[in-house]
Amino acid sequence: MHTLDSSQFPFFSSSFSNLQNQMILQISFHYNKPQLCIITSILFLVTTVLSSNPKFEACSPRSCGTGPPIKYPFWIPYEQEPFCGYPHFEITCMDKNPILRTSNYEFLVKDIYYSNSSFTVADIDVYEDKCPVPLYNYTFDQTPFTYSSENWNLSFFYNCSTEPIDYPTYEVDCAKNATHFSFADFHKEALEHKNYSLNECQFMVTTPLNINEAVNISSLLRMNYTEILKTGFVLNWTAPHCHYCEKSGGRC
């Protein structure tokens, strides 16, 4: 049995509790004291009954089968109600994998850190394309997401007329032809110091990566670019916190 006394937790962010507060406010303007007391008691009963079930259960954490538990501010349509999360945080389950779609990209959600509002994603193209190279710089304008400062940058150079000499890069064989080369590198600046001119390349893209987790430098050097892209990167999110609600045993 979970009952919530919203008056004790002013930040409890359920729309129902707001409604209740509004009603109490309105009632107190229109009724004298004895009536107010009765009506408040009824309201309290109604609140107790309502908050102990459907809304609370509707937002219990779910999973797609693999991956992290999905809860506020994330939510799974048809499994959880829209009030359990925010529109940008909609998770779709595909073959038991949690997928987040932004207007331009589709990401596999690898992990969610609810404690510091961040999560790890990898572009699903990396898993599906034959030549899974990033062809654009991600932008997260008009979303609640920002790059975490934990990420490194991996730069991809495409259709370059020469290859850097004496400099270790990740080969991108699937994006080259008989006369032009493509490669990836973590240190764009170091490459420039080697007098490699990026003008030799048709275009360049930078992708963030979080390789701190579980990957050390020596194993990083042995990986190829697809394996590296699959480690994914970290995004921070901003959404109203619901610590107060959860501490009280509720869910927002």
Ligand X SMILES: *[C@@H]1O[C@H](CO)[C@@H](O)[C@H](O)[C@H]1NC(C)=O
List residues binding ligand X (CB under 6 A).
113, 115-116, 118, 136-137, 146-150, 152-153, 158-159, 175, 177-180, 194-195, 202-206, 216, 218-219, 224, 226-227, 236
Q: How far is the CB of 13 from ligand X (least distance, A)?
A: 20
Q: How far is the CB of 176 from ligand X (least distance, A)?
A: 8
Q: How far is the CB of 154 from ligand X (least distance, A)?
A: 9
- List the one residue out of 95, 142, 133 whose CA is nearest residue 228: 133
User: Measured from the CB atom, is 107 or 158 closer to ligand X?
Assistant: 158
User: Measured from the CB atom, is 94 or 131 closer to ligand X?
Assistant: 131
Q: How far is the CB of 198 from ligand X (least distance, A)?
A: 8
Neighbours of 232 (CB within 10 A): 24
User: Measured from the CB atom, is 66 or 202 closer to ligand X?
Assistant: 202
Q: How far is the CB of 219 from ligand X (least distance, A)?
A: 4
Cα–Cα distance for residue pair 107/124, rounded to 1 Å: 5
Between 15-30 and 33-51, two packed helices, what is the crossing angle to 10 degrees?
Answer: 170
SS3 category, 204: strand
Cα–Cα distance for residue pair 130/134, rounded to 1 Å: 12
Contact 163, 220 (CB under 8 A): no
User: Measured from the CB atom, is 12 or 89 closer to ligand X?
Assistant: 89
Q: How far is the CB of 188 from ligand X (least distance, A)?
A: 9
User: Measured from the CB atom, is 12 or 119 closer to ligand X?
Assistant: 119
- Residue 179 is encoded by which pair of tokens? 């006369």
What does residue 133 show for φ and ψ, rounded to 5 degrees?
A: -95, 145
User: Measured from the CB atom, is 92 or 176 closer to ligand X?
Assistant: 176
Sign of CA dihedral 123, 169, 200, 190: positive
Integer CA distances (angstroms), 198 to 107, 164, 194, 229, in order? 29, 10, 11, 22
User: Measured from the CB atom, is 51 or 120 closer to ligand X?
Assistant: 120
SS3 category, 182: strand
Q: How far is the CB of 181 from ligand X (least distance, A)?
A: 9
Contact 127, 89 (CB under 8 A): no
